[in-house]
Amino acid sequence: MNDKKILVVEDEAVTSMDLRRSLTDLGYEVCAIAPTGEMAVKHAGELHPDLILMDIMLAGKMNGIEAAEIIKSKYRIPVIYLTAYSDDRFLAKAKITEPFGYILKPFRELELKTNIEMALYKHTMEHALRVSEETTRVLLNAIDDIMFLVDITGKFQAVNVALANLVGKNVHELIGSNVSDLVKMGILSQKMAGWNLNPIQVKTLCFEEKFNDKWFEVTLYPVRNPDNAVVLYAVYIRNITRNKNLEEQSRQNEEYFRSLVEDTSDIIAILNRDGTIRYDSPSINHSLGYPDEHLVGKALSTLLLEEELPNLQNIFLEIITNPGMVKPFHLKVKNYDGDVFTMEGIISNLYGNPVIDGIVLNGWIKNHRTV
């Protein structure tokens, strides 16, 4: 409390001196005494007091209410009115400036202390709320995704710039309007607007929807009051069209790759980083006499003669540490019956490829001999 500065705006010298003494006794610093509204505005901008005690009726052209209105708009300094008038006309005018309290003259020190402490506390809480609201606003507008807050009747309570730009309006124009208007305009679907939600039983809902030839991921979060009743919905809408197109392209590429592999007479296998076979073409099983998919999950080394294991290890170590590398190989392998064949071809590191994402072995059987 000792570091709080108070500006006294009072044109009666006796009252201003009494206020200075009382405020000093209470532990506050009186940074200045202004006898007019004009001086009050000037001191507010120069001294930045924590609080202003403002007499309503002042000498000069500007009364206390007019001075308080300017100070509120420019500096957001809390004001407590001092007045000898309890007339409703004065109070009605004073309310427009949103004062933090009223003290009737002649003031009592206990009333003065209580009003000041409450005003400073309220101002601190309002400042924290403004910071929180500004943080929320910044976060809402930091992304290109659509975000908005509606009450259970569908009226917008908050929207981000992304939605406002999509509608062609500013944020303030959308506040208070109904989300159903955007459905009628074809900007949001009914599901995006949350038309089918039950405010009694609803839980967080997440779904994907194709709308206007685009794909969206939509999440609707219910906001509950202390009585656990849903009073608002926070809606987050993300355009995932690009991801969906990539998934579809990847699926088509994978199907195309699989059809090529299954129709080829070459031996093709996709290996994991540890050398296990993730996928093998039918030709590798037919060429070596193994049952279909018998080799999947097994290490490639199980096909090789023991003398070839160091060679395979060197090839694999080099290929795994060099993304994109293609290297020829020549290895002796055993078929299902134990016969030894020479297999040669190329091995490639295709990790990072959206379709394959592994080590690809492409080879053929050259000759064989019986062990």
Kindly state whether residues 268 and 322 are assigned to the same domain: yes
For residue 1, the model assigns a pLDDT of 47
In a domain, residue 91? The reply is yes
Please report which confidence band the pLDDT of residue 254 belongs to, taking 50, 70 and 90 as the band edges: low
Give strand pairing partners of 219.
206, 236
CB 30 within 8 A of CB 57: no
The yes-or-no verdict on residue 34 having pLDDT over 80 is yes
Kindly state whether residues 14 and 88 are assigned to the same domain: yes
CA dihedral (303, 307, 309, 315) positive or negative: negative
* DSSP helix/strand/coil, 137: helix
In a domain, residue 247? The reply is no
Q: How many other β-carbons are positioned within 10 Å of the β-carbon of residue 67? A: 28
CB 18 within 8 A of CB 44: no
Kindly state whether residues 53 and 40 are assigned to the same domain: yes
Please report which confidence band the pLDDT of residue 261 belongs to, taking 50, 70 and 90 as the band edges: low
Kindly state whether residues 276 and 357 are assigned to the same domain: yes
Which of 138, 170, 187 is where one domain is finished? 138
Diameter over CA atoms, the chain: 120
Q: How many other β-carbons are positioned within 10 Å of the β-carbon of residue 268? A: 21
Kindly state whether residues 24 and 128 are assigned to the same domain: yes
Interval 49-57 mean pLDDT: 94
Kindly state whether residues 80 and 162 are assigned to the same domain: no
Kindly state whether residues 133 and 148 are assigned to the same domain: no
Which token pair is 202?
């609803």
Which token pair is 256?
């195309």
For residue 283, the model assigns a pLDDT of 78
Count how many Cα atoms sit within 13 Å of the Cα of residue 208 in the half-sphere of its side chain.
Answer: 8
Question: Which pairs count as long-range contacts for 246-251, CB under 8 Å and 24+ apart, including other chains?
Answer: 246/354, 250/354, 250/355
Q: Quote the CA–CA distance of 101 and 43 in Å, as a whole number.
A: 21
For residue 137, the model assigns a pLDDT of 72
CATH number at residue 66: 3.40.50.2300
In a domain, residue 162? The reply is yes
In a domain, residue 217? The reply is yes
Please report which confidence band the pLDDT of residue 370 belongs to, taking 50, 70 and 90 as the band edges: very low
Kindly state whether residues 132 and 187 are assigned to the same domain: no
In a domain, residue 11? The reply is yes
Residue 80: DSSP 8-state:
E
Instruction: Please tell me which residue, 370 or 67, carries the higher pLDDT value.
Output: 67
Kindly state whether residues 274 and 205 are assigned to the same domain: no
Ranked by mean pLDDT, the top range of 163-167, 195-199, 241-245 is 163-167
CATH number at residue 154: 3.30.450.20
In this structure, what are the phi and psi dihedrals at residue 250, rounded to the nearest 5 degrees? -65, -40
- Contacting residues for 138 by C-beta, under 8 A, at least 6 apart: none
Per-chain mean pLDDT for the chain: 87
Kindly state whether residues 83 and 123 are assigned to the same domain: yes
Query: pLDDT of 101-136, one tens digit each?
Result: 989 888 899 999 999 999 999 999 988 888 877 877
In a domain, residue 349? The reply is yes
In this structure, what are the phi and psi dihedrals at residue 351, rounded to the nearest 5 degrees? -65, 135
Kindly state whether residues 110 and 164 are assigned to the same domain: no
CB 364 within 8 A of CB 269: no
Count of residues for the chain? 371
CB 31 within 8 A of CB 6: yes
Domain count for the chain, please give it: 3
Q: How far from 225 is each of 151, 206, 233, 348, CA to CA, in Å?
A: 12, 22, 12, 59
Cα 316 to the center of its chain, rounded Å: 43
For residue 251, the model assigns a pLDDT of 74
Residue-number span of the structural domain to which 83 is assigned = 5-138
Kindly state whether residues 124 and 177 are assigned to the same domain: no
Query: pLDDT of 162-192, one tens digit each?
Result: 999 999 999 999 999 999 999 999 999 999 9
- CA-based Rg of the chain, rounded to a whole angstrom? 39
Which of 138, 173, 197 is where one domain is finished? 138
In a domain, residue 302? The reply is yes
In a domain, residue 188? The reply is yes
Exposed, middle or buried by CB within 10 Å (0-12, 13-18, 19+), for 273?
exposed
Which of 192, 207, 242 is where one domain is finished? 242
Please give the order of strands across the beta sheet that includes 214-224.
156-159, 146-151, 230-239, 214-224, 205-211
Whether the model clears a pTM of 0.95, i.e. scores above it, the answer is no
CB 49 within 8 A of CB 31: yes
